[in-house]
Structure 1
Amino acid sequence: MESRKDRHQPSGKPKPAETKPPKSKKRRTWLWALFATVLLMAALIAFFIIDNYNALNGLEKNPNDSIFDQFENNQALEKPPEWEGKERVNILFMGGDGRGKKTTKEPARSDSMMIVSIDPVTKKAHLFSLLRDTWVDIPGKGSGRANEAIVLGGYKLSMQMMSELTGLEIQYYVYTEFEGFKSLVDAIGGINIDVEKDMRYTDNADKNRYDINLKKGYQELNGDQALQYVRFRHDATSDFTRTERQRKFLSAVADKMQNLGNIAQLSTIIRSVSPFIETNLSADDMIRLGQLGFGLQNAGTAQLPPSKLLADEKIGGASVLAITDEDELREYVQEVLTENQNAPAGAENNSSNNSANNASP
C-alpha cells in the first residue's frame, strides 16, 4: 500500500529544500501582531467585564453571519470542551489574503497559518508557523497545499488537517484578513512610531492596493500605513529586523491601548474590529486568556516543517514543499514544547533546524 511519504516523493530521492525564507513570511508579522493585540484587549477586558462583555462576545459569529456558513461540516462542529484555564490550549490563527475574492461571504486562502500553544500553568506560549505551500493530506479531500483546506472545508477542515499533521489537539481558531488589522489601528486612533528607514515595495498583482511606501522619521501611522510597516521585510537581514520592528510596533500599541481614554472606549474598538475577525473563542474563553495575557511569556517559535524535513517537489507542474517524514514532524513538535518547558520565563528559543531566518515570530 502506498504510504503518505511515498505519495510525497513521486520519483527518486527528494531534492533537499532550500533554506531561503519563503514568500509567505511577508504576511506573518501582521497576523502575530493582531493576535497579541487581541490578547491584550482581552486582558484589559478582564478588568472591565461589565461594560465590554457583550462587545467581546460579538467576536464569536452566529453561523448564519459567518463566511464559513457554506460549509456544512462547520455547522456540525462540536462546541469546544469547557476550558478551565489549566489545560494546554492550542489556537489556530489563519490570516487570509482577501485579494481577488469574488464576494465577502467566502474565506480567502490562508496565506498565514500559525498554532499558538499555551500552557496556562507555566504561562508559556509557543508559536508554530506552517509554510503555506506545504503539501499535506486534507481529510476527505485528498492531497493539496495546506492553505487550500480553508476554501475546501472551512475552519473545521483546517483545524482537523493541522491537528493530524502536528499531533496537537486544536481547540480553537481565529480567522482574519488584512482589513482586520487596519481597522484595529484606525479604531485606536493610529500609532506614533519612528520609521527607521524609507520603505518601498510595489506589487502589481493586487493592482498596487497593498504597495509599501513609507518615509523615514517619527510619525503617526494609520491602519493602512501600519500594515505596510509590519509587512515590510526587504532588508539585508529581513527576519531579524522584521522581528525587532514587530516588537517595537506591539509596544506602541500596548502603550496606546493602556491609557485611560482607550480603556473607556474599549467596547467601541472591539465592535469596529469584530466584522473582520471570526473565532469560536467565547467571551469567557477570551477573558481567561486575557487574565494570562500580561504574564504570558514567549517560550519559542518554530517553522513547520523544519528545514531538515522539507523536500522540493513538482506536482502537477507546480512547485510544492513535501514533508519527508510526518511521524518525525510530530516528534519535532513535541520536542519543541518539552525542550523549553524548564527554560526560565522570557527565555526565547527560535527553532527551525537551527536556522533563525526560517522562524517567524
Structure 2
Amino acid sequence: MWKKIVMGVLLVASGVVGFFAAKAQVTFNSTMSNVNRDYDTVLENVDLEGIHVNSDNDVINILVIGNDYRKETNYNASGLTDTMIIATVDMKHNVLKTTSLMRDLYVEIPGHGYNKLNAANSFGGIELLYKTIAKNFNIELDGYVEIGFKAFQDIVDAVGGVEVELTESEVSYLNSTNYIRNKKYRDVKVGKQTLNGSQALGYCRIRKQGTTINGLRDDYGRTWRQRTVINAVFDKVKSLPMSDWLKLANKLLKNVTTDLSNDKIIEYGKDVVTMGTTKIHQLQIPINGYYRGSASGEFKVGSCLVMHDAGSTSLSSSANAEALNKFIFKYDGKDNFKYGTFENKEK
C-alpha cells in the first residue's frame, strides 16, 4: 500500500526544508540523513528512448510508491507496489495535485507484454515501473518516494490520529478481519471518529469488502480512502507549529526511500512553501466512462481494469493518458476537473 502517505510525508519534508534550510542547514542535513537513498534507481537515468513523455519546468511530478514491509512477519513485498500515486506541484497554476493509478490497470509493460500495473515493479523494479507509466501515460517523472506501512502508522499517530467517517460495512469488515493488525484496536464504530495509525492503515487497506460514505467499492473505494486519509494528515500537519515538523520528520524519514538529493528536496520544498496553498486536488486513473472490467477469463492475469477510448470497449490507454496530462499540466484548480463528459467532483 502506499501506501503510503504520499503528499503527506512529501510535504512534511518540504515544510522542514522551508523552515530549516535558511535557519539551520546543519540540522536539516542531519534530519535528511535519516532518509534511505537509492541512487541506483534515479528516475532521470531511466532509458525512455522511443517513448514520448510530456514535461514542464514549472510542474514537478513525484511518484509515491507504497510497499508492504512487515518486519514482524519477515514479509518483504518489495515487488508489490500496493499504491502508486503521482504527487504534483504545479507552480504554473499554484495547485497541489495527487493522482492515484489503480494497481489493477491492464497496461503494456515494456519487454513483458500486457499485465497489471503493479506487476511492473516485480519484473524490473522502480525503473521498469516508471518506464511502464511513461509508455502508457506519457508523463515524465522527476523522482520517487517509497514509503512503508510503518511510516504511515507513525505519521497518523504523530499527528494525534485522523478523523474519518465509517460506514456499517466498513466497520463490520475492520472489526472482523486482520486489516487492523493489532486486535485491541478492532473496535471502530459507525460514523465519524478519530482513528489511530493502526486503524487508519486498516481503513486504507479495505478493498474487496466495504462501501465508502460516497458509495465507492473495490479499488475505487480503496484509493479514495487513501487520498482522504492523506488529506486529513496534511491538514493536521499544517496546523502544527513548524518547530514540531522537524521532530515529525526525524521519526518518519527512516521509513522512506527516495532518489531525490537534499538539494532537490530543498528546491521542491521551497516551491511548495512559496506557493501559498495547502489544498490538494485529486484524480483517479482510470476515469469514469473510459474503462471496463475484464470479462471472465479474458486475460491470464485475473480480474483487471481495461482502459478504452470513448465509444469503444477495445484496449486503449490514450483517453486516460490524455485526461491525466490535462489534469497535471493544464488544470488550474478553479472548477471541477472535466474530461469529455466526465466531471471529477472532489469530495
TM norm structure 2: 0.71
Counterpart check, 1:284 vs 2:263: yes
**Counterpart of 2:288?**
307
Q: Using the TM superposition, give the Cα deviation of residue 322 of structure 1 relative to its aligned residue in structure 2, in angstroms.
A: 1.9
The change in CA–CA distance for 1:201 and 1:207 in structure 2 (over 3 A counts) is closer
Check conservation: 1:150, 1:158, Cα contact below 8 A: yes
What do the CA deviations read for 1:211-238 (whole angstroms, capped 9, x no partner)?
Answer: 7532579987543244346667744425
Q: Using the TM superposition, give the Cα deviation of residue 134 of structure 1 relative to its aligned residue in structure 2, in angstroms.
A: 0.9
Alpha-carbon distance between aligned partners in 1 of 2:299 and 2:281, rounded to the nearest angstrom: 33
**Counterpart of 1:42?**
14
SS at match of 2:82: strand
Check conservation: 2:145, 2:257, Cα contact below 8 A: yes
**Counterpart of 2:85?**
114
How many residues were matched structurally?
A: 308
**Counterpart of 1:319?**
303
Check conservation: 1:55, 1:270, Cα contact below 8 A: yes
Quick one: which amino acid aligns to residue 325 of structure 1?
S
Q: Using the TM superposition, give the Cα deviation of residue 140 of structure 1 relative to its aligned residue in structure 2, in angstroms.
A: 1.9
Quick one: which amino acid aligns to residue 85 of structure 2?
M
**Counterpart of 1:163?**
134
The change in CA–CA distance for 1:102 and 1:159 in structure 2 (over 3 A counts) is farther
Alpha-carbon distance between aligned partners in 1 of 2:255 and 2:204, rounded to the nearest angstrom: 18
Check conservation: 1:95, 1:112, Cα contact below 8 A: yes
SS at match of 2:45: coil
Q: Using the TM superposition, give the Cα deviation of residue 54 of structure 1 relative to its aligned residue in structure 2, in angstroms.
A: 2.8
Counterpart check, 1:191 vs 2:156: no
**Counterpart of 1:214?**
188
Q: Using the TM superposition, give the Cα deviation of residue 204 of structure 1 relative to its aligned residue in structure 2, in angstroms.
A: 7.4
Counterpart check, 1:349 vs 2:316: no
Match for residue 324 of structure 2 among 323, 333, 343: 333
RMSD (Å) for aligned C-alpha atoms? 4.0
TM norm structure 1: 0.69
Check conservation: 1:298, 1:348, Cα contact below 8 A: no
Check conservation: 1:195, 1:215, Cα contact below 8 A: no
Quick one: which amino acid aligns to residue 191 of structure 1?
G
- Structure 1 residue ranges without an equivalent (≥5): 1-26, 64-68
Alpha-carbon distance between aligned partners in 2 of 1:207 and 1:125, rounded to the nearest angstrom: 30
Alpha-carbon distance between aligned partners in 1 of 2:188 and 2:304, rounded to the nearest angstrom: 33
Check conservation: 1:127, 1:302, Cα contact below 8 A: yes
**Counterpart of 1:54?**
30
Q: Using the TM superposition, give the Cα deviation of residue 173 of structure 1 relative to its aligned residue in structure 2, in angstroms.
A: 0.9
Counterpart check, 1:135 vs 2:113: no
Alpha-carbon distance between aligned partners in 1 of 2:164 and 2:267, rounded to the nearest angstrom: 35
Alpha-carbon distance between aligned partners in 1 of 2:172 and 2:250, rounded to the nearest angstrom: 32
- Structure 2 residue ranges without an equivalent (≥5): 48-55, 308-314
Alpha-carbon distance between aligned partners in 1 of 2:62 and 2:139, rounded to the nearest angstrom: 10
Q: Using the TM superposition, give the Cα deviation of residue 94 of structure 1 relative to its aligned residue in structure 2, in angstroms.
A: 1.3
Check conservation: 1:213, 1:228, Cα contact below 8 A: no
**Counterpart of 2:237?**
253
1:22-37 paired onto structure 2 within 5 Å: 31=4, 33-37=5-9
Alpha-carbon distance between aligned partners in 1 of 2:161 and 2:303, rounded to the nearest angstrom: 41
